[in-house]
Copies of this chain bind each other. A is one copy, B any other.
Amino acid sequence: MHASLLIALDWFGIVVFAATGALVASRKEMDVFGFALLAIVTGVGGGTVRDLLLGRLPVFWVQEPAYILVCVIVAVILFFTAHLPESRYRLLLWFDAIGLSLFAVVGADRALDVVPNPVIAVVMGVVTATFGGIIRDILGGEVPVLLRKEIYVTAALAGAGVYVGGQTLGLSEPNALLAGFLSCFLVRGLALWFGWSLPPYRARPGRPQDGGRR
């Protein structure tokens, strides 16, 4: 049951990330194949980088091409419906938040399969959660979500950390998954809703040559 729960979460994460890729394609007014490419690289990008780093090759979607087909279907649906939501960018950020939370726990779990080390598991959770969006923003010519002021990496870290910590402390896997997912989604969701950010680095006052440079 746990394996099938994980697989379901993985699929759901791929679908919502693929949707964010298609939304970026719509903002750039690409054609339908551009939608498909951005949906694919965003949907499977984070997991692909994780598999490469862990040496789980060929990467997961080469072994299961249905992942690619699902991303294409999502792209086609969004090509015809992306004008419906009131703000595509807002929708993109919320889908991204759901995908981030799912992949933070799924990515950490996948890493524990290969390397039984909690630090690596947390790092792989963060990598899986963030790199799909990073690749999407670079290829799509968007300002990277990573560079926005609201809490982002921290949320993925919270999700992966709670999941790995929960398992270490003896939580059942479904409970640890849920706790990790909710931790990430709450942190990121509250940050999006209220515009929260952690105290950023600020150049010392009285250093005008650095202050305010972004």
Q: Is A15 an interface residue (CB 8 A)?
A: no
Chain A interface residue bracket vs B: 35 or more
Interface residues of A in 130-185 (CB under 8 A from B): 130, 134, 138-141, 143-144, 146-147, 151-154, 157
Pick the contact of A153 from B33, B140, B210, B214 — CB < 8 Å? B33
Query: Which residues of chain B have C-beta atoms less than 8 A from A40's C-beta?
Result: 123
Interface residues of A in 187-204 (CB under 8 A from B): 197-204
Interface residues of A in 114-138 (CB under 8 A from B): 114-115, 117, 119-120, 123, 126, 130, 134, 138
Q: Mark A56-72, 1 if CB is under 8 A from B, else 0.
A: 01110011010011000
Q: Find out whether the CB atom of B115 lies under 8 angstroms from the CB atom of A62.
A: yes
Q: With contacts A53-B48, A120-B62 known, is A29 near B139, CB below 8 A? A: no
Q: Find out whether the CB atom of B54 lies under 8 angstroms from the CB atom of A58.
A: yes
Q: Is A79 an interface residue (CB 8 A)?
A: yes
Q: Find out whether the CB atom of A144 lies under 8 angstroms from the CB atom of B146.
A: no
Q: Is A37 an interface residue (CB 8 A)?
A: yes
Q: Find out whether the CB atom of A58 lies under 8 angstroms from the CB atom of B53.
A: yes
Query: Which residues of chain B have C-beta atoms less than 8 A from A117's C-beta?
Result: 65
Q: Find out whether the CB atom of B114 lies under 8 angstroms from the CB atom of A202.
A: no
